[in-house]
């Protein structure tokens, strides 16, 4: 029988130039690298504890808890912007002496970021003693400036940075209820992960969604019953937050709504651009989630990219949106580099991170209070890359094939080529 030409419909695959470096990084880390990595992280904690402005953001929450213990309303302070549940969460800190807290807080912030990194690695089955797991965190801590900033100011964004990877790991293992509980507790501390509720909606995981909503609601009600004038949250704090706070926060606000007017763009147009970008991002997240399985990633890449796209879309319109917010999604995206076709394997991903590198000598115009321009560039760059990945990675190409002993075909043959076997990065 003769050979007959045919057409095979194949899924697009990214170039495999990353395979060898990734394989090398997945090998066990030498003891010297483990020691150096630990020394770097501890060094950042110690240097932070010795600085005069340590824990400046954490201080607002601790002050709110101390006010509650003294019988006052935490919302008298316009800088306390969290739910009533956060006051209860901060009470243990308020009971710790300041001298002790000075040393505990930086270690706690680093520990939370480390938990998020380890959970992201487990999600992609990366060995925790590999060069990738040990070395990348130390390099990231040294090179990525918002990491040091977050450890310094003690912002509770670190809780969200730990909770999201842990929740996605649980969801990937089928424990959506526990994932919703983890996200709900994180929202009770700081309502940053509220947009992740959309992921539970897309997945139709109602039990997890109920936990996500009811846990912070119950703790907030308990906190509100314990404080005088809880209505100040709605009449004073919420309007202040929705307006983007005041001139104090504006220089560091990376939201396009705040940055574009500083560049001469009319405010209404800046709002329109930001909300249009967020709408496209949410649409891309929906497209990414609804794509049929078959990427060869076991579903974890779809889970991560959908969640990160939802969060980046929210950051585009949140007021304010600070540089350390990106630490919620970056550990997940960095860990995804072990999968072919991931956003982290694009050179544009690393270019988008360049404005945040600590060793790049940027002009003085982009330093200190004007760094929001760099932060906005990174935020928008990552959002565009993930949206492009979501909307284009389902693209297919036609490849001619030859079949033996088969009748002529008048239709293309549907066959997907897996991008990668998940077993390559298994323990």
Per-residue pLDDT reduced to its tens digit, 382-411: 999 999 988 875 443 333 434 444 444 433
Quote the pLDDT of residue 203: 93
For residue 362, pLDDT beyond 70 = no
Whole-number Å distance between alpha carbons of 33 and 401: 48
Which whole number is the average pLDDT over 202-215?
95
Dihedral-angle region of residue 333 (phi above 0 means left; psi in -120 to 50 means alpha; beta otherwise): alpha
* pLDDT on residue 114: 94
The arithmetic mean of pLDDT across residues 92-120, rounded, is 93
Q: How confident is the model at residue 366 (pLDDT cuts 50, 70, 90)?
A: low
Q: Per mean pLDDT, which range of 84-88, 158-162, 183-187, 366-370 is the poorest?
A: 366-370
The per-residue pLDDT of the chain, averaged, comes to 83
pLDDT band at 244 (very low <50, low <70, confident <90, very high): low
Give pLDDT tens digits for 279-324. Answer: 999 999 999 998 765 444 568 999 999 999 999 999 999 888 888 9
Across 143-157, 181-195, 220-234, the highest mean pLDDT is recorded for: 181-195
Would you say residue 423 has pLDDT above 60? no
Query: What proportion of the chain, given as a percentage, has pLDDT over 90?
Result: 55
CA nearest neighbour of 136 among 393, 297, 336: 336
Of 144, 64, 154, nearest to 106 by C-alpha is 154
91 closest CA partner among 188, 203, 212 = 188
Query: How many secondary structure helices (H) and strands (E) does the chain include?
Result: 19, 3
What pTM, to 2 d.p., does this model score?
Answer: 0.85
State yes or no: pLDDT of 352 exceeds 60.
Answer: yes
Over its C-alpha atoms, the chain yields an Rg (Å, rounded) of 23
Give 363's pLDDT tier (boundaries 50, 70, 90): low
ω into residue 182 within 30 of 0, thus cis?
Answer: no
pLDDT band at 415 (very low <50, low <70, confident <90, very high): very low
Bridge partner residues of 414 (DSSP): 9
Tell me: pLDDT of 340 over 60: yes
For range 46-51, the mean pLDDT: 90
Q: In what order do the strands lie in the sheet with 413-414?
A: 396-404, 3-11, 413-414
How many other CB atoms sit within 10 Å of the CB of residue 346? 16
Pick the residue with more confidence: 353 or 17?
Answer: 353
Q: Give 47's contacts (C-beta < 8 A, 6+ positions apart).
A: none
Q: What is the pLDDT of residues 370-384, one digit of tens each?
A: 788 889 999 999 999
Q: Specify the pLDDT at position 419.
A: 38
Q: Is residue 281 within 8 Å of 387, Cβ to Cβ?
A: yes
Determine the pLDDT at residue 278: 95
- What's the rounded mean pLDDT across residues 138-150? 88
Highest mean pLDDT among 4-8, 132-136, 380-384: 380-384
């Amino acid at each position: 029988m003769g050979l007959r030409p045919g057409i095979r419909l194949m899924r697009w695959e990214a170039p495999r130039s990353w395979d060898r470096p990734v394989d090398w990084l997945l090998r066990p880390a030498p003891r010297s690298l483990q020691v150096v990595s630990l020394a770097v992280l501890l060094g950042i904690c110690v240097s932070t504890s010795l600085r005069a402005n340590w824990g400046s953001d954490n201080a607002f929450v601790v002050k709110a808890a101390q006010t509650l213990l003294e019988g006052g309303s935490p919302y008298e302070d316009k800088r306390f912007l969290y739910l009533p549940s956060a006051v209860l969460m901060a009470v243990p800190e308020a009971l710790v002496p300041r001298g002790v807290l000075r040393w505990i807080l930086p270690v706690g912030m680093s520990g939370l970021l480390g938990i998020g990194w380890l959970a992201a690695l487990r999600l992609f089955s990366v060995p925790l003693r590999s060069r990738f797991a040990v070395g990348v965190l130390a390099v990231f801590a040294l090179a990525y400036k918002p990491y040091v900033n977050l450890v310094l100011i003690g912002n509770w964004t670190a809780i969200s940075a730990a909770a999201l990877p842990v929740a996605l790991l649980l969801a990937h293992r089928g424990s959506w209820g526990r994932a919703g509980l983890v996200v709900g507790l994180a929202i009770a501390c700081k309502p940053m992960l509220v947009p992740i509720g959309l992921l539970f909606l897309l997945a139709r995981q109602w039990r997890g969604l109920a936990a996500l909503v009811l846990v912070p609601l119950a703790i907030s009600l308990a906190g509100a019953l314990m404080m005088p004038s809880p209505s100040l949250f709605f009449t004073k704090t919420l309007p202040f937050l929705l307006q983007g706070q005041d001139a104090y926060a504006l220089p560091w606000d990376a939201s396009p709504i705040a940055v574009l007017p500083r560049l001469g763009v009319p405010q209404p147009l800046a709002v329109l651009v930001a909300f249009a970008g967020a709408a496209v991002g949410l649409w891309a997240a929906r497209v990414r989630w609804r794509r049929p399985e078959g990427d060869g990633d076991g579903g974890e890449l779809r889970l991560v990219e959908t969640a990160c796209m939802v969060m980046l879309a929210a950051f585009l319109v949140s007021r304010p949106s600070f540089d350390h917010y990106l630490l919620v999604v970056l550990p997940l995206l960095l860990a995804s580099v072990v999968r072919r076709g991931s956003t982290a394997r694009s050179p544009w991903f690393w270019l988008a991170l360049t404005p945040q590198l600590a060793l790049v000598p940027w002009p003085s115009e982009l330093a200190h209070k004007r760094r929001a321009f760099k932060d906005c560039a990174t935020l928008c760059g990552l959002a565009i890359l993930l949206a492009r990945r979501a909307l284009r990675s389902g693209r297919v190409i036609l490849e001619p094939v030859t079949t033996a002993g088969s009748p002529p075909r008048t239709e293309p043959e549907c066959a997907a080529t897996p991008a990668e076997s998940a077993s390559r990065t298994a323990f």
